Amino acid sequence: MTRNTALTEAVPVPEALAGRSIVLVGLMGAGKTSIGRRLAARLGLPFRDADTEIELAAGCTIPELFSRYGEGDFRAGERRVIHRLLSGDPLVLAFGGGAFMDPETRAIVRDSAVSVWLRCPLATLLRRCAGRDNRPLLADGNPADVLQRLMEVRYPVYAEADVTVDCHDESPDATTGRVMNALLAWRAPRRLPVVLSSTSYDVVIGDDLLARAGALLAPQMPQKRAIVVTDGTVAGLHLPTLLRGLGETGVATQQIVVPPGEASKSLASWQSVVDQLLEARVERRTTVIALGGGVVGDLAGFAAATTLRGLPFVQVPTTLLSQVDSSVGGKTAVNTAQGKNLVGAFYQPRMVLADTATLATLPPRELRAGYAEIAKAGLIGDAAFFAWCEANGAAVVGGDRDAQAEAILRACVFKAAVVGDDEREEKPNDGRALLNLGHTFGHALEAEYGYGGGLLHGEGVAVGLGLAFRLSARLGHCAAEDAERVVSHVAAIGMPAELRMLNRRLSAETLLGHMRRDKKVRDGALKFVLTRGIGQAFTADDVPVAAVTELLRDEGCTA
């Protein structure tokens, strides 16, 4: 049932809006001033009208300013006034019709306010503007034609507002009530800045972000054109929503669809994607958007990194694994017959949109596999987070949206810190290499399965985590109890926790052969991430091969 917000009630400022101003945008006649006054009274905030403030500062009317200085100088002065108003205490501020068109003004609003677009149809605007002589943009030409042209230009930009409320021929009180309802329901997505020496970008986490993709991505796109790379499965589930979200802000799109599965993460698929990008006549300002899991993200990212020596790139991960791991950090690569991720590039995205709503479409097996990378973050360097995982892991894989968002955020916070300290994995010890905890074993298992989906990446990592801890215990670095705690938690989540659970005949020598082809090998020596306990990972390149062989055999491998 929709909450009734009768205008006689006092409504405290919702927690999500605390400390933030509310900005109303829309064309002339949308009712920004009348709605703004009522909204401010409801929330106990001061109200200001940007046009009125400009007139007070200039000592003349808006039409006179237009006549004397032209629209360019007027917009510059308008921007200064708005910046001053939004730099103070929270208020409700009504914008002039063109104010939100300025990119600098929109950036100010994103930082300090919640923006509400009062979207009106042409007929309503015409009736409300009829007979008014204070609309300089309507002074010349047929008002209907002028308004239609303004709608075509401005509505795609207004769509970047945080909240959209459709307005029709109703009383201002009724519209204010609907604006209040929309604000009460609004929740800001979580934003995590990833700060690197070369660049920075945000990981945005929240529900239903695909529907607002245009609003969220437009500030990061140098051109309102994008090529969406996705796979056949994800295209049926999420591509229409993403395209609608981009279309609302006027982003023109084309799509490249690859077959689902690890087999698409290949040199042949990379060449096909690059060829299709070139056939689409992309420019260096055309954005490549990866919509899908880790395979699509790595493939599209590598194609973006290499086409025209680099195209703008955005990650829209749709699996838990890709939301907490592959989409963050800028590693892009494809597999070869010699091993996993051996051909690729470090290439950072402009933004990562992690829409938790997409997780509801995942098969339970894939959701559980993605969880392995979440637990890994705690095991590497945050014992308290691993304890949180033990308490909340079942809720995460069970579909609890709040638990999922918290897990994604905390895992990404950890990874962002590690990547920020060692973007290109250049530190010989520790640094970004720590993120490979469990991966030397996991990648060997994936290679043995042939990257055909028989073993998911997260499942390989899950087994690898237990093996890494058991190897650490055998070498005297951590307590055996720590290793058993890891194996028990992985098993409790429903993932394979030991080699015996894979129900496959494995050879220790064959797995070691895969490990020797791993990209982390240095001077021919195997490199492992080991641990001194929960949250105390470290790198080691002096692990005796005999110890690894013995472990694998004890875990059920043949010679």
**Per-residue exposure over 257-271, b if at least 16 CB sit within 10 Å of its own CB, e if not:** bbebebbbbbeebbe
**Per-residue exposure over 523-548, b if at least 16 CB sit within 10 Å of its own CB, e if not:** eeebbbbbbebbbbbbbbeebeeeeb
Judge whether 202 and 413 are in contact, CB under 8 Å: no
pLDDT at 133: 54
Question: Which helix (H) or strand (E) segment is 148 a member of?
Answer: helix 143-158
Determine the Cα–Cα distance for residues 412 and 328; give it in Å rounded to an integer.
7
Per the model's pLDDT, the better-predicted residue between 262 and 164 turns out to be 164
Query: What is the average pLDDT across 59-80?
Result: 87
Residue 256 phi/psi, 5-degree rounding, is -125, 120
What residues contact residue 450 under an 8 Å CB cut-off, 6+ apart?
none
Per the model's pLDDT, the better-predicted residue between 36 and 139 turns out to be 36
Residue 2 has pLDDT above 60, yes or no: no
> For residue 211, what pLDDT band results from cuts at 50, 70 and 90?
very high
Which residues sit opposite 413 in a β-bridge?
none
Residue of 491, 500, 493 lying closest to 554 (CA atoms): 500
Query: Does domain 15-185 match CATH 3.20.20.10?
Result: no
Residue 229 has pLDDT above 80, yes or no: yes
Determine the Cα–Cα distance for residues 470 and 556; give it in Å rounded to an integer.
14
Judge whether 342 and 335 are in contact, CB under 8 Å: yes
Structure tokens at 484: 């058993």
Residue of 276, 327, 319, 275 lying closest to 298 (CA atoms): 327
Judge whether 192 and 223 are in contact, CB under 8 Å: no
Judge whether 249 and 215 are in contact, CB under 8 Å: yes
Determine the Cα–Cα distance for residues 261 and 17; give it in Å rounded to an integer.
42
Sign, CA torsion 393/411/345/224: positive
What residues contact residue 198 under an 8 Å CB cut-off, 6+ apart?
348, 423
Largest pairwise CA distance in the chain: 91
Judge whether 232 and 257 are in contact, CB under 8 Å: yes
pLDDT at 137: 59
Strand 313-317 relative to strand 287-292, pairing? parallel
Determine the Cα–Cα distance for residues 20 and 13; give it in Å rounded to an integer.
10
Query: What is the average pLDDT across 134-155?
Result: 81
Q: 76 in helix, strand or coil? A: helix
Question: Which helix (H) or strand (E) segment is 343 a member of?
Answer: strand 339-346
Residue 225 has pLDDT above 90, yes or no: yes
The CATH homologous superfamily of the domain defined by 407-554: Dehydroquinate synthase-like - alpha domain (1.20.1090.10)
Residues with active-site annotation: 309, 331, 373, 415, 425, 432, 436, 439, 443, 457
pLDDT at 9: 59
What residues contact residue 253 under an 8 Å CB cut-off, 6+ apart?
225, 226, 227, 228, 243, 246, 247
Q: Which fold has domain 190-362?
A: Rossmann fold (3.40.50)
Q: What is the pLDDT of residues 395-409, one digit of tens each?
A: 999 999 999 999 999
Least confident of 17-21, 33-37, 530-534: 17-21
Determine the Cα–Cα distance for residues 237 and 272; give it in Å rounded to an integer.
23
Residue of 313, 290, 186, 280 lying closest to 238 (CA atoms): 290
Judge whether 351 and 216 are in contact, CB under 8 Å: yes
Query: What is the average pLDDT across 258-267?
Result: 95
Structure tokens at 23: 């900005």
Q: 78 in helix, strand or coil? A: helix
pLDDT at 136: 55
Residue of 349, 466, 467 lying closest to 412 (CA atoms): 349
Q: What is the pLDDT of residues 338-393, one digit of tens each?
A: 888 999 999 999 999 999 999 999 999 999 999 999 999 999 999 999 999 999 99
Could you give the percent of the chain with pLDDT greater than 70? 94
Residue of 419, 354, 430, 432 lying closest to 198 (CA atoms): 419
Sign, CA torsion 114/354/325/240: negative
Query: What pTM, to 2 d.p., does this model score?
Result: 0.90
**Per-residue exposure over 347-374, b if at least 16 CB sit within 10 Å of its own CB, e if not:** bbbbbbbbbbbbbeebeeebbbbbbbbb
Would the CATH topology of 15-185 be identical to that of 407-554?
A: no
What residues contact residue 1 under an 8 Å CB cut-off, 6+ apart?
none
Residue carrying the six token digits 């985590």: 465
Supply the mean pLDDT for the chain.
92
Which residues sit opposite 176 in a β-bridge?
none
Query: What is the average pLDDT across 420-427?
Result: 89
Domain boundaries, the chain: 15-185, 190-362, 407-554
